[in-house]
Amino acid sequence: MKKVLICLAVLAFVAVSYGATHVFWYKATDRGYNLQSNPGPNLPAGATVHQGIIMSAGVAQHSGAATDGFFCGSGLDDAQGRCGVVWSADLCAMQGTCTSAKFRAEFRDGWSGNGFCNIGPINIRCGVADFKGNVDIWGSPELVAETATWQDFLNPLGSTMGYDMTNPTMEQEEVINFTAPAARPSESDPSILDKQFVEIDITDQVNWILSHTGANQGTYTGQYAIPFLVTPGMGSTGKINCYADEAVSGSQTAMGSDAPWTTDGNTVHLLVEGTLEPIAVEHGVKASLSTMSLSQNVPNPFTVSSAIAYNTGKDNGMLKIYAPSGKVVFSQEVTGSGSLNWNSGNLASGIYVYRLTVGSKVLSKRMILMQ
């Protein structure tokens, strides 16, 4: 009996010390992925899979071109500055510590004027960015669209246009010296990165996130993204391009590798080893949200003016309207139930966001101005 107790104690110590394997992958189980396939993800059996929304996206600093794919690095000219970002709703709802954390996604070894992957060094500025303002645009984490791309968020890294990332504010920042593997040298050559997954160590960044969620937020917000920034002219002549289509629209697989593991493009995931547990949800949060509302503007689209109905309950609230650039173009304190008729004046056509904030609760919607 004593030996049994000792064995159980040892097992408990091992479980606490090393934790468990957690995989954050959007709808991976629902979509029937074989996560243990090799070649392929080759993930350990018995891992806990968290299927909440993940937003992965990329943007090129030299042009501002943004997509729903994930890429990182430059061409041989070291002038593109292709950057990626990933945000996981489930990770931001966990607390604990990890011994290892990796960003993983399948390489896209297609060919588009050498626009996919190429061998060489990549100097990645990696860190943690406060992402709550961007999530709030959608209303709440669970409402973020699976089609979201970089330009769908206001000021993803505190920049004016969303891609001027020369000096963003990040926590737990470090430079990761990564070497991109060789890809097919020309369109006529076969793919050589099929079914292979990139791995970038983000242990420090994930531990920072886990230590600033729940009761440990302090002055932070609880919603964080991990950017992978590449500055042009810093010796980055390698590039990776990954299958990163959470909406599984098929737009990426149509111009991809010869025989990839993925069939729908959704391969971005985080692999975390550690002692993680969900954050306890405070009682009454959903009830307080039910006392406030924000209606879709009427008409929508509109040419000059549109009406916005709101309800703040018994509290004071703030209604703000944001231009596509992220600039606040209207702000007014509101109380109770009412309607505001907003005149756009001489503002340019585009997709505007209006946001109602009551205390720590935020509701947002979009409207289309067509001048």
Q: Could you tell me if residue 262 is inside a domain?
A: yes
Q: Hey, is 132 helix, strand or coil?
A: helix
Average pLDDT for 68-85: 89
CATH number assigned to the domain comprising residue 325: 2.60.40.1930
Residue 8 has pLDDT above 90, yes or no: no
Token output for 163: 């891609």
Tens digits of residue pLDDT in 117-172: 999 999 999 999 888 877 777 777 888 888 877 665 544 444 433 444 556 778 99
Q: How far apart are CA 43 and CA 23, in angstroms?
A: 9
Shared-domain flag, residues 271 and 336: no
Q: Could you tell me if residue 10 is inside a domain?
A: no
Average pLDDT for 56-78: 84
Domain count of the chain? 2
- Note the residue count of the chain: 371
Residue 94 belongs to what domain range? 18-277
Shared-domain flag, residues 261 and 346: no
Q: Residue 24: which of 8, 43, 48 has the closest Cα?
A: 48
Shared-domain flag, residues 298 and 238: no
Tens digits of residue pLDDT in 162-183: 444 556 778 999 999 999 999 9
Q: How far apart are CA 142 and CA 55, in angstroms?
A: 11
Shared-domain flag, residues 92 and 140: yes
Split at pLDDT 50, 70, 90, the class of 314 is confident
Q: Could you tell me if residue 81 is inside a domain?
A: yes
Shared-domain flag, residues 267 and 308: no
Shared-domain flag, residues 109 and 73: yes
Average pLDDT for 39-65: 89
End position of a domain, from candidates 252, 277, 302: 277
Shared-domain flag, residues 325 and 193: no
Residue 3, C-beta contacts closer than 8 angstroms, at least 6 positions apart: none
Given this model, what pLDDT does residue 280 score? 67
Q: How far is CA 269 from CA 81, 152, 223, in A?
A: 23, 21, 17
Shared-domain flag, residues 273 and 299: no
Q: How far apart are CA 122 and CA 36, in angstroms?
A: 29
Given this model, what pLDDT does residue 167 score? 66
Q: Could you tell me if residue 266 is inside a domain?
A: yes
Given this model, what pLDDT does residue 154 score? 44
Shared-domain flag, residues 266 and 293: no
Q: How far apart are CA 300 and CA 317, in angstroms?
A: 23
Q: How far apart are CA 95 and CA 328, in angstroms?
A: 34
Q: CA neighbours within 13 Å on the CB side: how many for 322?
A: 22
Q: How far apart are CA 187 and CA 29, in angstroms?
A: 34
Q: Could you tell me if residue 8 is inside a domain?
A: no
Q: Phi first, then psi: what are they for 49, rounded to 5°?
A: -100, 125
Q: Could you tell me if residue 317 is inside a domain?
A: yes
For residue 304, the tally of other CB atoms under 10 A from its CB is 12
195 vs 358: which has the higher pLDDT:
195
Token output for 350: 């585009």
Q: Evaluate if pTM is beyond 0.85.
A: no
Token output for 279: 């954050």
Q: How far apart are CA 165 and CA 163, in angstroms?
A: 6
Residue 162, C-beta contacts closer than 8 angstroms, at least 6 positions apart: 59, 64, 66, 150, 151, 153, 154, 155, 156, 326
Q: Could you tell me if residue 96 is inside a domain?
A: yes
Residue 291 has pLDDT above 80, yes or no: no
The mean predicted confidence, pLDDT, of the chain is 83
Q: Could you tell me if residue 239 is inside a domain?
A: yes
Q: How far apart are CA 90 and CA 25, in angstroms?
A: 9
Tens digits of residue pLDDT in 257-286: 999 999 999 999 999 999 999 986 543 344
Q: How far apart are CA 312 and CA 332, in angstroms?
A: 13
Shared-domain flag, residues 181 and 39: yes
Instruction: Give the pairing of strands 239-242 and 20-24.
Output: unpaired
Shared-domain flag, residues 266 and 314: no
Shared-domain flag, residues 261 and 302: no
